[in-house]
Amino acid sequence: MEKEFDIQEYMTKGVERVVADAIKATLKDPRESAFMLGFAAASAKASAKRKKAEAKGEHIPPFLIASITSKCNLHCAGCYSRCNHATVDAEPVSQLTDEEWSGIFNEADELGISFILLAGGEPMLRRDVIEAAGKKKNILFPVFTNGTFMDEAYFELFDASRNLIPIMSIEGKKDITDSRRGTGVYDRLIRNMDELHRRGLIFGVSVTVTKENVHEVTSEDFLNELSERGCKAVIFVEFVPVTEESSELAPGDDEREYLKAEIARLRKERQEMVYISFPGDEKGSGGCVAAGRGFFHINSHGGAEPCPFSPYSDVNVRNTSLRDAMHSPLFMALQSGDILMDDHEGGCVLYEKRELVEKLMADRTA
């Protein structure tokens, strides 16, 4: 008889693997390695909290994505956040304050959430929130940034708060990065990497994988350059098309299978860096892990959403606790239904099945 899939066990092992890989990747840097060993202990305690809650019938995901601002200075081609109107040029209105975000981080710590990904917009526009995150030493905060606001004050903050890990967005080599993100962005990223490496600070990169760059971003040439500059993590994010015009960029089955095989190879052969794929192989995780199964998303105004690619919310953390938000009617409906397990063509089932998600929302407010 086939063993029933256990999402808690799957996600816990995933956290343990990421932490173990990070320790291996930082062994040559005593200060970073010491921090990662300390975080491993905190992560184990957080895992115990989640298991205790699971035994009582409550599922707590180990990950949270927090979009701390809706403002961004770049106009990257095909940006899902701009297409969903979650990112704008205007000065944001009624966003969560640094005090409100700090409260969210405190509750996340109490619940046993180990990782909070800080995103945007451009998160480095909210230095106040990032400083608040730096004080929560039991949580690792990857900061997903375009890198254009990296300055001396941020270098000093990352040095003082090792739980803040800058993850800079890059698309491959100079031509493809600048063509998507803007002229001069690649050179700025390289300068940031060199300065972070000079100071002995851990950092990673986020790569949006498309049909155009999937071979380049997994090439030895590209990865060698990252490794030599001190990069410790490569996060491959499959491009999710949110317009018909950009659909041809989305990786197909062949590209996803190739990426899956390459990541498996890299984890064995190049252990100087950590490799993570998102959304990755959903079949191996029993379906999509959004909507609180493995993570969920809080937007800059406090709305709790299944994930950044599925911007639907029926509850706001301004009006309720983080615990109640992660068990919102929408999340519970998604977890108990079939949508998260459905077969789909692209990298994001919730985006592909958005009409069904919208119907669920309509049914809950009818």
Q: Give 212-256 pLDDT, tens digit per residue.
A: 999 999 999 999 999 999 999 999 998 877 666 667 788 888 998
Low-confidence stretches of the chain (pLDDT < 70) are 1-8, 10-11, 14, 78, 80-90, 242-246, 280-286, 342-347, 364-366
pLDDT given for residue 11 in this prediction:
65
* Beta bridge pairs of residue 117: 65
* Count of H-run helices and E-run strands, the chain: 14, 9
Task: List, in order, residues 6 or more apart from 255 with CB less than 8 Å away.
Answer: 209, 211, 214
Q: What angle do CA 239, 245, 248 make, to 5 degrees?
A: 50
Instruction: State the DSSP H helix or E strand holding residue 44, giving kind and residue range, or none if neither.
Output: helix 30-55
pLDDT in tens, 144-168: 999 999 999 999 999 999 999 999 9
Name the 3-class secondary structure at 130: helix
Beta-strand relationship, 164-169 and 297-298: unpaired
Q: What confidence score (pLDDT) does residue 243 get?
A: 63
The pLDDT assigned to 27 comes to: 77
- Return d(Cα 334, Cα 328) in angstroms, integer: 10
- Maximum CA pair distance of the chain? 58
Could you tell me the domains of the chain? 61-365 (3.20.20.70)
Q: What is the DSSP track for 336-355?
A: HSSGGG---SSS-HHHHTHH
* pLDDT more than 70, % of the chain: 87
**pLDDT score for 2:** 47
Beta strands in the chain (DSSP E): 63-67, 115-119, 141-145, 164-169, 204-209, 233-238, 274-278, 297-298, 304-305
Looking at residue 238, what is its pLDDT? 87
